[in-house]
Chains A and B, each alone.
Chain A
């Protein structure tokens, strides 16, 4: 019963209503993705017990009733680590005091060692600083560490990177990935940034106006074209790849994916290391025959699996690449000119592929 069973009906302000009936595995990272106002934070607050679902709502954590009928386990007994969008550090305590706050309230449960957590999140030199002297990124890392040290059974992260700028965002994200790799604490990660969640989510729940629109494993979901996601401008397929080798002279790395090889910018990692890469649909074009004199390095034979119009001028193609899929967005005119049909074997030209993470 290692799952979080949610059967929620929760009314918010202005007719907003969150309704869902889901079971989330308590392992890895579950991303909750959706536009602002779709109910992501409401969902997290219900799980944490900060908000109470309407009568009939049920939340069971690994078989333990957190909300069921009249029963409502208060947040301080749920042992969840909540990282808020604003760090919410205690202003009267220094960093060490903030980290200690949750640790001293573990109630006898085994938890992570403070030294390890400080190291992962790069807090060693900040321990005696006051929260108001920290940058937004540092504050957020303290907040993540503080939550981790309370010996949580589940981490809830509400857009923890939303208020951070590029560099501190990346630093925070790297820290977070170290944590995920090291702890194995299940996480629910809320974001409206698909690139962010594609980096490490194992599965995703897409919320829209308080309802679940799509759900599924991250890689599978990102390769479907019948999702809301596929119709967004930043739609992209996520591929699992293995490092084959590096071309130091040109600063590139060669990756093996199902059904072919890809060249990407030099990335860290030994040969054989597993990587997750993201290929935006707008950066994939197709041709009937293999171009011989193109500047584009990555040309892979693919099979057209699905074709879907995404408006007046564009169509979205789902292209089978071995067991995995690429998405390509091309004009309807091109699709007609090439007489594309499902089952055709064509060539996909990939203009760019971004490394997402060292988690496959």
Chain B
């Protein structure tokens, strides 16, 4: 494997890892909120979260490009804070990936959270547990497996990202040139042997991850009641 390919793989893992950590931090409170609320606003928010499932990634990438460009408020703010441009940077990829993979983290968590009976939380509250404590001591242990599922899906989906990255990241080695983009490059320049290596790598990785996940799933996703 060439250095360029190894660099693309390292960048991909870095992107997927960062995205997954951010998604767990953002997705957990969001999923919790969605699981405990009914009404118009939560439904609207749920729809927004689910959008990346149905939208072509290029649509998302297009709007993100417009949002993050150097002459927009977001782009200007970023330029002022960091001294570098946001569009076509690794950070832009992270932002895009977080949005793009959001449903893959939020939905499994939300489903798991809504299976935690509110009655248990009431019991915890009367026993002296504050809401954060209730979450930590009751909800987390009961939904631990779903975090594994959410993190794995978020990670795998980010690894498999292509359209958004091409729109907002371009193809800068070491900065935005991830595996899927490198693969596209190989095909464009008719380097099929190299393309095969990367494609097979992605197939094996995804299959292995999903297999482990689903095998574990059979054992226990349900609450231990």
Contacts and interface: CB of A to CB of B under 8 A. Distances in A.
A84 B119 contact: yes
A250 interface: no
B120 A88 contact: yes
A81 B126 CA distance: 6
Given A90-B138, A91-B225, A132-B225, A105 B119 contact: no
B122 interface: yes
A101 B125 CA distance: 11
Contacts of A77: 128
A105 B126 contact: no
Contacts of A86: 119
A76 B128 contact: yes
Contacts of B142: 91-92
B120 A76 contact: no
Given A88-B120, A90-B138, A132-B224, A80 B133 contact: no
Nearest to A93: B141
A153 to B, nearest CB: 12
Nearest to B140: A92
Nearest to B127: A102
Q: How large is the interface on A (under 10, 10 to 19, 20 to 34, 35 or more residues)?
A: 20 to 34
A82 B141 CA distance: 22
A75 B126 contact: yes
Interface centre among B119, B123, B129, B142 (most CB of A within 10 A): B123
A132 B138 CA distance: 16
Contact of A76 (B119, B129, B138): B129
Contacts of A81: 126-127
A279 B127 CA distance: 39
Contact of A106 (B125, B128, B133): B128
Nearest to A80: B126
Contacts of B119: 84, 86, 88
Interface string A32-53: 0000000000000000111000
Given A86-B119, A101-B137, A91 B224 contact: yes
Interface in A71-113: 74-82, 84, 86, 88, 90-93, 101-102, 105-107
A146 interface: yes
B122 A88 contact: yes
B124 interface: yes
A91 B141 CA distance: 10
A123 B153 CA distance: 43
A193 to B, nearest CB: 22
Contacts of B126: 48, 50, 75-76, 78, 80-82, 147, 150, 156
B124 A101 contact: yes
A67 to B, nearest CB: 15
Contacts of A88: 119-120, 122-123
Contacts of A74: 125, 130
A147 B127 contact: yes
Contacts of A101: 124, 127, 129, 137
B187 interface: no
A132 B223 CA distance: 11
B123 A92 contact: no
A245 B124 CA distance: 49
Given A50-B122, A101-B137, A92 B224 contact: yes
Contacts of A82: 122-123, 126
B127 A146 contact: yes
Given A76-B126, A76-B129, A82-B123, A91 B223 contact: yes
Contact of B128 (A79, A84, A92, A93): A79
Interface string B166-200: 00000000000000000000000000000000000
A146 B124 CA distance: 11
A101 B224 CA distance: 17
Contacts of B225: 91, 132
A105 to B, nearest CB: 3
A150 B224 contact: no
Nearest to A152: B126
Interface string B96-122: 000000000000000000000001101
Contacts of A75: 122, 125-126
Given A91-B223, A91-B225, A92-B141, A84 B127 contact: no
A230 to B, nearest CB: 35
Contacts of B122: 50, 75, 82, 84, 88
A79 B125 CA distance: 10
Interface in A48-76: 48-50, 74-76
29 contacts: A49-B125, A50-B122, A50-B126, A75-B125, A75-B126, A76-B128, A76-B129, A77-B128, A81-B127, A82-B123, A82-B126, A84-B122, A86-B119, A88-B122, A91-B223, A91-B224, A91-B225, A92-B141, A92-B142, A92-B224, A93-B141, A101-B124, A101-B129, A102-B128, A105-B128, A105-B133, A130-B224, A150-B128, A156-B126
Interface of A: 48-50, 74-82, 84, 86, 88, 90-93, 101-102, 105-107, 130, 132, 146-147, 150, 156
Given A88-B122, A106-B128, 7 more contacts: A50-B125, A74-B130, A76-B128, A80-B126, A91-B225, A92-B138, A132-B224
Closest 4 pairs (CB-CB, A-B): A105-B128, A102-B127, A82-B126, A88-B123
